[in-house]
Structure 1
C-alpha cells in the first residue's frame, strides 16, 4: 500500500495512453468500457487512499527515491485525499453520463477525459509548486480539447478566450515561480515554508511579488473577480459531461490558494505573514456579489449553473480570507457539496435542452417534457441543495461558513452577502421552475430524446450526495475539521517528516 499515493495519477495516465492505441482507439465501445473500468478503479483506489490517510496519517511519496527538496514529492494528507476522492467520484458519475452518447461528438474524448483527471489529481497531490504548474498545464491542455468537443461556433469562440487567458496565466505562473526560486532557492512547499520566514529586506519584497503573482494565477483558475468573466460563457458552451467535470476546475485554484497561503505564506512567514488576506477579503465579497447578480440575470439553466459556480468560488474565497481552522473546515465541506450539486445541474440542463425543442434550456414557454416527473424531481433536489435549504447539504455548508466568522466586522460583511446570494438563487430557481415545468405551449414531442438509464444513474449518484452529506454530516465535518487543523498547524504538520527538510 506504500504506492497508493501515486495511483490516482498513474491510473488515468495508463488508461488514457492505452485508449490512444489501436484497436481500442478505433472502437467507441471498447473506449467506453475502458473508461468506466478506469474511473471505477480510480474511485476505489481514491477511497482506499482516504481511508489509509485517515487511519495512518499523512503519506509521503518520493518519486525515484529522490528526497526533498530536490526530488519530486507527493503529499497525500487529509485535504488532498478528500479532494482526490471527490474528483474520482465526479469523474465516474460524469463518465456514466457521457457513454450514453455525448462522447461521440469528436475524437479522443475518452483519453482526454482521463488526462484531465490525471492533471487534477496531480495538482491536489503534489508537494512541489513547480509540479503544481506542470499538472496545471496537463489539465489545461486536456481541457482545451475537451471544450471544443462536438464543435460549433460558440464553442470555438469560448475556447479561444479560455485558451488565451490561461496561456497568460501560465506565463505569470512561471514568472512567479522564477522569482520565488531566486529568493528561496527551492520550490518544495515544505522547504519554502521554512525559508520564507527568514527573508528580510529586498528578498522579502521580491518574494512578496512572486507570491502575489501566484495569487493572480490561482484567482484566474478559481474565477475570482475581476478574472471571472471567462467562466459563464465557457461553461455554458461546453458539452454537458465537460461542463460537469469542469465543476471541479475552479476548486483546483481554490485549493492552491488554501495550500500555498496557509502552508507557505501563513502565520509563520515573518514579513510575508498572511499577505493574501488583505486582497482576498474585498475580492471574495465582490465575487459573491457579481455572481449573485449573474444568477438573477441568467436566461438559461446552463448560464445559471455557471454563475452559481462563481458564487460558490466567492464563498470559498471568503473562507480563505477568514483564514481559520473553522473556516477551512467549512470550505472543505462546502467544496464537496457545491462541486457535486453544480455538476448535477449541468447534466440536468442537457436533459432539459433535449426535451424542449428549440427553446432548449432557456426560461421561455415551450412544449412539455417527455419525462416531466423525473426531471422535475431532480431539478427540485438540486435547486434546494444549491439554494441552501434544509435538510440538504447546501444548508449545512452555508451554516458552517456563517459560523466561521470570527468578528463583528466579518459577520457584517459575510452574512448579508451569503444570505442575499441564497435569496437570489431561490428567486431564480423559482422563476426557472415555474417557466420550465408549468408554462407549456403544446404537447410532448415524439422526437424528444428521453434520458437513458446510464444518464439517470449519473445524475442520481450526484444528487444522492446532498442527503448523504447531511446524514453522515457528523463524521464528515469531524474529518474536515481534522484536515483543516493539520493544514494550519505547521509546527506539527507532516511537512516536518519529509526527509531532507528540517527547521
Structure 2
C-alpha cells in the first residue's frame, strides 16, 4: 500500500515504453489492449488513493527513502488524489472514443497518450516545484506530438503557436525556479512555505518576483487572460480524443495556482501573504469576458467549446480570488464538472462533424444527420450542463461559487461576470444547436453510422453531470474537506514533511 502514490506515474510510463517495443510496436490491436489495461489499472489505483485520502491520511512517498526536503517527494492528499481520479475517468472516456479509428490517423497514438497521462499524474502528485517543472515538460512533450497527430495544415499551424508559447513558459518557469532556490535554498513546497515567512528586504523582493513569474507560467497553462489566445486554435484543431484529454490540461494550471498560492504564498506567508490576490480578480473577470465574447463569435462547435473552456477558467479564478476554504471547495466541484463535460463536448463535436459531411461542425445549413436523435439528445444535455442551467452540475457549481462571494465588491464582480457570461453562453449554444439540428434541408446524404463505442464514450462522460448532482452531497463534502486540508497545510506546512502515511485533515 505504501507504494500506491508512485503507481499513477509508473503504470502509464511502463505501458508507454512497452508499446514502443516489439511485438506491441507493430500491432495496433495489441497497443489498444495494453492501453486499456494500463488506464483501467491506473483508474483502480486512483480509486484506492482517494479512499485512503478520504480517511484523512496524507500519503507521502519519498523516492529512494531520501528524506524531504532533499529527496523527490510525491504527496497523495485529498487534492492530488481527486485530480488523479478525475484525470483517469476522463482518460477512459477519451480512449474509448479513440479506439474507433481515430488511432489509425498516425503512429504512436497510444504511447503518446500514456506519456501524457504520466506527465499529468506526476504534476498532480509532486511535492516540489522542480519536479512540477519536470512533469510539465513530460506532458508538454507528449502534447506537442499529439497536437500534430494525423498531420494536416491546420494542426501544423496550431502546433507552432502552442509549442512556441509553451517553450517561452518553460523558460520563465526555469528562471522562477532559479530565483526561488537562490532565495530559499529549497524547492520543496512545504519547506518553501516555512522559509518564505521569514523573508524580508531584498530577499522578499526577489521571492515576490519569482512568485509572480510562477503565476505567469501557471496562467499560461490555465489559459487565463491575456495568455489565453493559444487555447482556441489548439483545442479546435486536434483530434477528438486528444482534445478531450486536453480538457484536464488547463486544470493543471488551476491546480498549481491553488497549491502554490495557498500553501506557499497564502495567508500565512508573512510579508508575502496573498501574493496573487490583487491580480486574480481583474484577471478572472477579463478571462470570463474574453471567453464569453469569443463564444458569441464562434463559427464552429469546437471553437465554441474552446471559448467556453476559457469562461470556465475565469469562473474558477473568481473562486480562487475570493480565497476562502468555501470558495476553494466550490471551485473544485466546478472543476470536476467542467473537465468531464468539456471532454464530452469535444467528443460530441467530432461525432456531429462526421455526420455532416463537408460542413463538419460549422454553424451552417446542411442536410439532416443520419443519427440526429441520439446526437441531438447528447447535445442538449451537454449544452445545458456546460452553460450552467438547472438541474445539472454546471448550475450547481456556479451557485456554489456565487454563494461564497460575501463582500459587496465580490458580489458585484462575480455575480455580474458569471451570470452575464452564462447568458451569452445560452445565446451561443442556442444559435449553434438550432443551426446544426433544425436548419437542415432534405434527407441525409449517405453516411456511415457512428460506431457504437463512440456514442458510449460520449454518453459515459455526459452521465457524470447528473451523477455529480445525484451524489452532490457526498462530493461537496469531499471537496469541502479537501479545501480545508489545503488551508490547514498553509497554516502548518510540516503536515507535508513527516514520515510515510501521516494523518492530516
Give the structure-1-normalised TM-score.
0.98
Structure 2 match to 1:169:
169
Structure 1 residue 437 displacement after superposition: 0.8
Matches within 5 A, 1:384-463: 384-446=384-446, 448-463=447-462
Structure 2 match to 1:180:
180
Residue 247 of structure 2: SS of its match in structure 1? helix
Aligned partners of 2:496 and 2:265: how far apart in 1?
19
Structure 1 residue 320 displacement after superposition: 1.3
Aligned partners of 1:416 and 1:283: how far apart in 2?
15
Matches within 5 A, 1:12-411: 12-411=12-411
Structure 1 residue 497 displacement after superposition: 5.1
Post-superposition CA distance 1:335-391 (Å, at most 9, x none): 000000011010000011111011110111001111011100000000010111111
Residue 136 of structure 1: SS of its match in structure 2? helix
Structure 1 residue 492 displacement after superposition: 6.3
Aligned partners of 1:442 and 1:299: how far apart in 2?
23
Task: Tell me if the contact between 2:74 and 2:125 (Cα under 8 Å) persists in the aligned partners.
Answer: yes
Residue 74 of structure 1: SS of its match in structure 2? strand
Post-superposition CA distance 1:170-213 (Å, at most 9, x none): 00000000000000000000000000000000000000000000
Post-superposition CA distance 1:206-243 (Å, at most 9, x none): 00000000110000000011100010001000111111
Describe the shift of the 1:109–1:144 C-alpha distance in structure 2 as closer, same or farther (beyond 3 A).
Answer: same
Residue 60 of structure 2: SS of its match in structure 1? strand
Aligned partners of 1:484 and 1:491: how far apart in 2?
11
Residue 248 of structure 2: SS of its match in structure 1? helix
Structure 1 residue 451 displacement after superposition: 1.8
Post-superposition CA distance 1:478-497 (Å, at most 9, x none): 00000000101236657435
Task: Tell me if the contact between 2:24 and 2:31 (Cα under 8 Å) persists in the aligned partners.
Answer: yes
Task: Tell me if the contact between 1:8 and 1:118 (Cα under 8 Å) persists in the aligned partners.
Answer: yes
Residue 61 of structure 1: SS of its match in structure 2? strand
Aligned partners of 1:310 and 1:421: how far apart in 2?
11
Post-superposition CA distance 1:384-438 (Å, at most 9, x none): 1011111100010000110111301000000011011111111111111111111
Task: Tell me if the contact between 1:325 and 1:481 (Cα under 8 Å) persists in the aligned partners.
Answer: yes
Instruction: Give the stretch that moved more between structures: 192-201 or 492-501.
Output: 492-501
Task: Tell me if the contact between 2:325 and 2:487 (Cα under 8 Å) persists in the aligned partners.
Answer: yes
Aligned partners of 2:274 and 2:139: how far apart in 1?
29
Matches within 5 A, 1:473-488: 473-488=472-487
Residue 20 of structure 2: SS of its match in structure 1? coil
Task: Tell me if the contact between 2:190 and 2:493 (Cα under 8 Å) persists in the aligned partners.
Answer: no
Residue 58 of structure 1: SS of its match in structure 2? strand
Aligned partners of 2:457 and 2:16: how far apart in 1?
21
Residue 441 of structure 2: SS of its match in structure 1? coil
Where structure 2 has 5 or more consecutive residues not aligned to the other structure, the ranges are 501-505
Post-superposition CA distance 1:284-340 (Å, at most 9, x none): 100000000011111110001100110000011111111110110011000000000
Task: Tell me if the contact between 1:247 and 1:342 (Cα under 8 Å) persists in the aligned partners.
Answer: yes
Task: Tell me if the contact between 1:68 and 1:500 (Cα under 8 Å) persists in the aligned partners.
Answer: no
Give the structure-2-normalised TM-score.
0.98
Residue 75 of structure 2: SS of its match in structure 1? strand
Describe the shift of the 1:314–1:26 C-alpha distance in structure 2 as closer, same or farther (beyond 3 A).
Answer: same
Describe the shift of the 1:242–1:5 C-alpha distance in structure 2 as closer, same or farther (beyond 3 A).
Answer: same
Aligned partners of 1:500 and 1:277: how far apart in 2?
33
Describe the shift of the 1:39–1:497 C-alpha distance in structure 2 as closer, same or farther (beyond 3 A).
Answer: closer
Structure 2 match to 1:9:
9
Aligned partners of 1:86 and 1:201: how far apart in 2?
42
